[in-house]
Amino acid sequence: MASKNTRCGGCSHPGKPDSDTELICEKVKPHAELKTGKKFDKFTPVKCSKQVVAGTNHFIKVRVGGDEYVHLRVHEKLPCAGGEIELTAIQEGKSLEDELAYF
């Protein structure tokens, strides 16, 4: 799922989410709710960037309701390593204006 705008080790510029990003969000929503102790009314990706490492780190800004957003870091393993997707970090209390950056 790494885009051609992504160089190894560096993050791509944040852009619009694609269908792969939407699928990732569907898969990690229950894990995000568990980590935050909250139930999200919405879970809509609005921006994303990627970092190619031993797999791909996805940094995703997600609207969770009203003017409330979270930032996700999701690691996608290489297909030869099983291709699993894992929510590795979440930042709460974000706004639409907050920069989506490596964390």
Domains contained in the chain, CATH given: 19-94 (3.10.450)
Report pTM.
0.85
Query: What are 1's two structure tokens?
Result: 């799922």
The enclosing H or E element of 31 equals: helix 19-36
Pick the residue with more confidence: 100 or 61?
A: 61
Q: Retrieve residue 95's tokens.
A: 């706004």
pLDDT digits (tens, 9 = 90+) for 29-61: 999 999 999 999 899 999 999 988 888 899 999
Torsion angle of the four alpha carbons 90, 93, 97, 103, in this order, in degrees rounded to the nearest 10: -30
Q: What is the pLDDT of residues 8-31, one digit of tens each?
A: 556 677 779 888 999 999 999 999
CB 21 within 8 A of CB 60: yes
Per the CB < 8 A criterion, the answer to whether 35 and 58 are in contact is: no
